Amino acid sequence: MSFDYDLFVIGGGSGGVRAARVAAAEGAKVALAEEDRYGGTCVIRGCVPKKLMVFASEYSAMVGDAQAYGWDITGGAFDWDAFKGKLHAELDRLEGIYRNLLKNSGVTSYDSRATLVDAHTVALADGSQKTAKHILIATGGWPSVPDFPGADLAITSNEMFHLDTLPETILIVGGGYIASEFAGIMNGLGVKTTQFYRGTQILRGFDEEARAVVAEGMVENGVDLQLETNVVSMVKDGDKICVTDTKGREHLFDKVMYATGRHPNADNLGLESLGVARGKKGEILVDQYSQTGVPSIFAIGDVTDRANLTPVAIREGMAFVETVFKGNPTSPDHDLIPTAIFTQPEMGTVGLSEEEAAAQEPVEIYSASFKPMQQSFAGRAQKVLMKLIVSKANRRVLGCHIVAPGAGEMIQLAGIAVKMGATKEDFDRTVAVHPTMSEELVTLKQPSRTT
C-alpha cells in the first residue's frame, strides 16, 4: 500500500518538530500538523517566556546590590508594556525559526488541527485526509483547573504572558515548580504576591532540605506563602476577586492564577475508537520505544506523561527516529535527568533526594549551607545549599541538590558526573575553583549525617 507520507506528526512543539526534521533528514517524506503556534509549550507559553520573566524580575534586587557595591544609581519603575512588547517579538522570532527549520528540512506543514481516522490516516480541520505509514502524536500537555465555585475566574500560566496590565495583587494556587516560579516572578516585578498550597511544603517530590531552603528564601524575598491552605470558592467583587480559603478567611486579589497540575493534551483525537490505550490521567500509554498498542502509531513528550521536560521530549523524538527510520531500536533514557527550577532562590537537582535514597540503602549526607559572598557583601541574607547524597556501599554520588544563584547552570555539569557514576572520592580528587559557590561540592569532607 502506498501512503501520502512516511511519517505524519501531530503537534509542532519541541519533540514533534525535532522528530519530523530528523526523520526528513533520513530521507523520509514527512508532514506535520499544528493547530496553534509552532514551538509548543516550551517556546510559546512555557520555559522560554518564563525564563525571560525570571530575568526581568531579578533586576529589582540588583539596584540595592549595586548601591551596596558603591554604585550611585537609583531604581525606577518596571514597565510591563515595554517588556511585554519585546517578549512577544522574541516569541514571534522563535516561532519563525521553528517554521523555517521544518521548511528547510523538507517537512510539509499544515496549520490545522489533525485527528486520527484509522491506523494510517489523519483528518485535517478542512475535512481533507492524509495517509502515512507512521503517525507520531506529540500534542503535549495543558494546564488543569479543578472544578469549584468560581473556577472560571482563575487564569493559568498560559495567560500570564498576555496580561493587559500587571496586577497590584495576585494569588497563586499550587506548590509545584510552575506555581513557585511564578510566585518569584510576580514578587520580583513588584506585585504583592500570595501563594496557597494545600500541602505542608512546596515542591513535593524534591529533596526536603532543598525545598525548605527554597521556601525560606521565597518568604524572605516577600512572597506571602500560606501552606496547608486551599481555595474553597471565588466570586467577582467589582474589579477584584474575593477568595474564600479552607480556613474560612476571605481575601481580595486582582488576579488568581492556578498551577495545580497539567493534563495530557490527548482528548478528541480519535484515539479511543482505534484502540489506543490511555492511562488514568489521560496520558497515551506507550512502550519503551514510544509505540502505542496500534503498531503504526507512536507518541512522545508530555502527552505520554513520562518525564515532562522539553529536552526529554526531544530525546524521545530522536529515539523514535532511531527506532523507526534507522532500524536501530532505541529506548529514551529517563534515568538521572538533571533539572532546574527557576524559583527565587533557584534550585538544581539530579538523582535521588535524601528521602528516596535513604529508603533504598544506607547513605551519607554531605551538605553545606552558607551565605554567598556576592549577596553577603551587599547585606542580603539569602542562604545557599550544596548537598550530595552518597551510597555507603559503593561511594557513588546518588543525588546532588543545589539551591543558589545559577543553580541550573551548575547542575548541568554536576549531572554529567552523577550520570557517569562518580564517587564521593572522585569529587574529592577534583581541585576546587576558588572563590566560587560550587567549590563546596568538592570540599565537603565530613558527612553532616548518615542514615
Cell 532546574, residue located:
340
Angle at 20 between CA 17 and CA 25, to 5 degrees: 125
Give the start-end residues of each E strand in 250-409. Answer: 250-253, 255-258, 262-264, 297-299, 339-341, 347-351, 363-370, 384-391, 397-403
Residue 333 is classified by DSSP as -
Would you state the torsion angle of the CA atoms of residues 200, 206, 210, 211, taken in this order, to the nearest 10 degrees? Answer: -30
Q: How far apart are CA 201 and CA 12, in angstroms?
A: 36
E strand or H helix at 132: strand 129-137
E strand or H helix at 203: none
Q: How far apart are CA 92 and CA 331, in angstroms?
A: 34
* Catalytically annotated residue among 120, 162, 401, 434: 434
Q: ω into residue 332 within 30 of 0, thus cis? A: no
Q: Between the CA of residue 124 and those of 8, 116, 219, 350, what are the distances in Å?
A: 12, 9, 49, 41
Q: How far apart are CA 353 and CA 403, in angstroms?
A: 13
Q: Are strands 262-264 and 347-351 parallel, antiparallel or unpaired?
A: unpaired
E strand or H helix at 103: helix 80-104
Dihedral sign of CA atoms 22, 25, 31, 32 in order: positive
Q: How far apart are CA 94 and CA 41, in angstroms?
A: 12
434 noted as active-site residue: yes
Q: How far apart are CA 435 and CA 346, in angstroms?
A: 20
358: Cβ contacts below 8 Å, ≥ 6 apart? 451
The alpha carbons of the chain give a radius of gyration, in whole angstroms, of 24
312 Ramachandran zone, left/alpha/beta (phi>0; psi -120 to 50): alpha
Grid coordinates in use for 396?
557513588
Q: Annotated catalytic sites, by residue?
A: 434
